């Protein structure tokens, strides 16, 4: 068996994720646009991770985020591909390390979007990458607002990524990161403490009910991801995103988590609050991991990993009101080092 191509790996993983009635219940008819979008993000010889973001309430469908952990210097998009982001990846190729930094393109395929793609950089603790990243996408003027917001973040709220969404109202610049354990525990234990953190950050679109809901969610998950929107004038928008992370990488443990562990409790609470229906119960059987052998061009044997992983359950609050919950799956293909 030869090593699968990038699109063969994507197609195989999508079929696994969509089987068992999940395409109809979770993904709807988005795959045509999503497959085309993913193919147009391919640059170099790597296998970008595909993040499928789908709602747990309302019309099924999904948006796709294609994330590269590494790109070779000099790599170029095929003609007509790349969504106009060759310069972004030319820059990324010079700073990526294959580990902590990643760069991606997102398309709202559930809304029928085909051209206005969002962009994403995970920089972890390398905040010096924010300004050149924004320059590479022609948005240098947004740097001041991002760095000002970054400077207001309390201890335990370290920003780790930046994203820009040209197709969305107000062209929001996303600032997000991962709550440290002490900050997470404090927010879960005391909603008023979370309110104090929001005040320091400069975010004012919250009330007591929202704080209580956020604290309850944060208490259930092993990790939490926060997101704010920075508007063109540098102010924070009225939306707060809270993602609850899943740590399991083995399929059996991931299934157990969604059936009777914290995943079930998180999604069940979302359903109790009217933010989800019971479609989330189909997610558990999507978990998948397999290593397959293949023959290299020199005749030696290599090994290739195919995985469908659980990433986040997410809820957003806009002007204090919770919006329908979403879930993220990761389709991951990778040649393993032997």
pLDDT of residue 52: 98
**Residues 92/71, Cβ–Cβ less than 8 Å:** yes
Task: Give helix 181-189 / helix 208-220 axis angle, nearest 10°.
Answer: 130
Q: Report the first-to-last Cα separation within the chain, whole angstroms.
A: 17
**Residues 92/105, Cβ–Cβ less than 8 Å:** no
- Of the candidates 236, 120, 116, 243, the one whose C-alpha atom is nearest the C-alpha of residue 179 is 243
Quote the CA–CA distance of 224 and 188 in Å, as a whole number: 10
Q: Residue ranges of the chain with pLDDT lower than 50?
A: none
pLDDT tens-digit map of 95-130: 998 778 999 999 999 999 999 999 999 999 999 999
pLDDT of residue 311: 97
pLDDT of residue 86: 98
Which residue is associated with the tokens 């990324």?
92
pLDDT of residue 255: 97
pLDDT of residue 167: 74
pLDDT of residue 338: 63
Quote the CA–CA distance of 106 and 64 in Å, as a whole number: 6
Query: What Å distances lie between residue 265 and 64, 117, 150, 220, 244, CA to CA?
Result: 26, 34, 32, 7, 11
Break the chain into its structural domains and give their ranges. 6-336
pLDDT of residue 280: 98
pLDDT of residue 299: 77
> 34-55: string of b/e by CB count within 10 Å (b at 16+)?
bbebbebbbbbebbbbbbbbbb
pLDDT of residue 304: 92
Quote the CA–CA distance of 64 and 31 in Å, as a whole number: 9
């Amino acid at each position: 068996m030869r090593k699968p191509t990038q699109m063969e790996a994507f197609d195989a993983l999508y079929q696994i994720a969509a089987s068992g009635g999940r395409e109809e219940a979770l993904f709807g008819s988005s795959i045509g646009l999503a497959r085309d979008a993913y193919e147009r993000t391919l640059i170099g010889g790597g296998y970008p991770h595909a993040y499928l973001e789908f709602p747990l309430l309302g019309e099924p469908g999904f948006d796709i985020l294609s994330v590269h952990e590494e790109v070779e210097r000099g790599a170029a998009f095929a003609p007509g591909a790349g969504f106009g982001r060759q310069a972004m990846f030319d820059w990324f190729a010079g700073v990526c390390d294959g580990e902590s930094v990643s760069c991606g393109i997102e398309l709202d395929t559930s809304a029928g979007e085909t051209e206005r793609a969002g962009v994403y950089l995970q920089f972890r603790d390398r905040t010096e990458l924010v300004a050149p990243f924004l320059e590479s996408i022609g948005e240098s003027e947004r740097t001041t607002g991002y760095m000002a917001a970054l400077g207001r973040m309390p201890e335990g709220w370290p920003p780790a990524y930046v994203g820009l969404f040209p197709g969305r109202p107000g062209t929001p610049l996303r600032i997000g990161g991962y709550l440290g354990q002490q900050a997470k525990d404090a927010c879960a234990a005391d909603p008023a403490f979370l309110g104090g953190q929001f005040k320091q950050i400069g975010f004012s679109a919250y009330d007591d009910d929202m704080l209580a809901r956020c604290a309850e969610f944060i208490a259930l998950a092993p990790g939490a991801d926060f997101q704010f929107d920075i508007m063109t004038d540098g102010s924070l928008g009225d939306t707060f995103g809270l993602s609850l992370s899943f740590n399991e990488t083995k399929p059996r443990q991931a299934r157990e988590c969604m059936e009777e562990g914290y995943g079930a409790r998180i999604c069940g609470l979302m359903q109790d609050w009217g933010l989800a229906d019971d479609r989330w119960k189909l997610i558990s059987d999507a978990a998948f991991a397999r290593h397959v052998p293949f023959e290299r061009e020199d005749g030696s044997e290599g090994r290739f990993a195919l995985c469908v992983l659980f990433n986040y359950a997410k809820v957003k609050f806009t002007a204090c009101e919770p919006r329908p919950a979403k879930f993220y799956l990761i389709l991951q293909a990778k040649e393993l080092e032997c």
